[in-house]
Amino acid sequence: MAVTTAVFSSGVAVAYAGGRDGEVSGLAMLAALVGWTLAGLLVLRRRHPVAVALAASAAAVVLPLDSFAALLALTWVIATARVRTAVLCTAAVTAATAVALWRDAARAPGDRVFAVYDQTTGVLTHAPEAASFWVAGVLLLAAAVSAGLARRFRAAASDSQEAQATAVAVLHDKTLREDERELIAREVHDTVAHHIASIAMQASAFEVTQQNEAAKVAARQVRSSAQQAIAELRALMTALRTGTGVGTQGATLEDLVPLLDGLRERGLTVAGTVFVSDAAAASQALARATFRIVQESLTNALKHAPNAPVELSVRAGRADGVQIRVANTVEPGAAPGPGTRSGTVIMAERAAALGGTFHAGVEAGRYVVVAHLPWREATA
């Protein structure tokens, strides 16, 4: 519709520029060609409104054309461009409209666009002098600017509504996550924590009633492990309820040595080295991942190969990050111990989350776990 109207409008302007005698000059033919080209370019007014508005304004100033194409493109400039660009384009279109109207007003009354001959009486009816052209120009500009501002405000309102809808969706998602964390924390407290606390109490009672020293030591180890599990569960439940990071309980680099001592007391034969430098500077995520990978690897060795010695090597520092290697002998034909095999998957996920690498498998009759975690500094 806009292209068709622009073609008709430019054709009328060129026809009146040639006068009533119908003579077509070279300038008129050029103006018609440019006018039709600009009319076709109006299909780009939404994507390139500034270029179309300026080109149509320049053509209306130089050639005997109207400024309809420029006025139509101006509405999209005002709707989409920055304020400075919109003001400059409005000035250009205003100048083009003024020149086009002045050009029409300068012609003889019978050659003006607003002039009409009565076919019966031959009486010429035309608009009053300059005032009518000024009024027409102001009305045309006002219509274009008003349409542009209406589009701009409508787009701003739509963006505001979308932003509000996004904010509401984010808040709703956050509320749902908080409810889910609270539910999980409550279920953990009511089930897992209760059972572990019962195990700790039973182990404590068993320790008191037994006369055998070995049985007392075993009961003490069970009670200690249960109490440590309860402490970690409390930290986990606090993190779930508050949405903050998991606490550092039992998850620091300094806790590696006590971990080895506890596993040795449970009957695991561990030989190896633990060399840690800059432990206090390690991030919580790095320390926790290191501790959990070592803990899970040694626990798997104790569960699946309880009588096999385990070789452990842990080296941690700023220069090379954390290097972990755990290896134990696999007896030929031995049936795998019970388990879900999810521990290996979780260890790999912990390493990947920090941008590290993880590998676990049988090599030359030994089950080997190798992990490398890049160093991460603790935040203040």
| Per-residue pLDDT of the chain in tens (380 residues, 90 and over written 9) | 778 887 777 777 777 666 555 555 777 788 888 888 888 888 888 888 899 889 988 988 888 888 888 888 898 899 888 889 989 999 999 998 888 888 877 766 656 665 555 556 555 555 555 566 677 778 888 888 898 889 888 888 888 888 888 888 888 888 887 787 777 777 777 777 777 778 878 888 887 787 787 787 777 778 777 777 777 777 777 777 676 655 444 467 777 888 787 777 767 788 888 888 877 888 888 888 898 899 888 888 878 777 788 899 999 988 889 999 999 888 665 555 555 567 788 899 989 999 999 999 888 888 999 999 999 887 75
Residues pairing with 315 in the sheet: 275, 323
Instruction: Tell me if 180 is assigned to some domain.
Output: no
**Total tally of structural domains belonging to the chain:** 2
Residue 247: which of 197, 212, 284 has the closest Cα? 284
Domain boundary (104, 127, 150) is at 127
Residue 313 belongs to domain with CATH number: 3.30.565.10
Q: Give Cα 238 distance to the centre of its chain.
A: 28
Structure token digits, residue 71:
């006025």
Dihedral of the CA atoms 48, 49, 55, 57 (nearest 10)? Answer: 180
Instruction: Tell me if 144 is assigned to some domain.
Output: no
Instruction: Tell me if 171 is assigned to some domain.
Output: no
pTM of the model: 0.46
Look at residue 10 in the predicted model and tell me its pLDDT: 75
Residue type, 340: T
Look at residue 248 in the predicted model and tell me its pLDDT: 44
Are the CB atoms for 243 and 252 separated by under 8 Å? no
Q: Which residue has the tokens 């402490």?
A: 231
Domain boundary (102, 127, 152) is at 127
Instruction: Tell me if 247 is assigned to some domain.
Output: no
Look at residue 261 in the predicted model and tell me its pLDDT: 79
Instruction: Tell me if 362 is assigned to some domain.
Output: yes
Question: Structural domain of residue 28, as residue ranges?
Answer: 2-127
Look at residue 303 in the predicted model and tell me its pLDDT: 80
Instruction: Tell me if 39 is assigned to some domain.
Output: yes
From residue 30, give the alpha-carbon distance in Å to each of 93, 104, 105, 210, 284: 21, 18, 22, 112, 75
From residue 14, give the alpha-carbon distance in Å to each of 9, 30, 37, 40, 233: 9, 9, 14, 17, 86
Are the CB atoms for 17 and 64 separated by under 8 Å? yes
Instruction: Tell me if 276 is assigned to some domain.
Output: yes
User: Which residue pairs, CB below 8 angstroms and at least 24 apart, start in 150-157?
Assistant: 151/75, 151/76, 151/78, 151/79, 151/80, 152/78, 152/79, 152/80, 155/79, 155/80
Are the CB atoms for 56 and 66 separated by under 8 Å? no
Domain boundary (78, 95, 127) is at 127
Residue 110: which of 121, 123, 101 has the closest Cα? 123
Altogether, the residues listed in the chain come to a count of 380
Instruction: Tell me if 242 is assigned to some domain.
Output: no
Look at residue 14 in the predicted model and tell me its pLDDT: 73
Structure token digits, residue 165:
């809808």
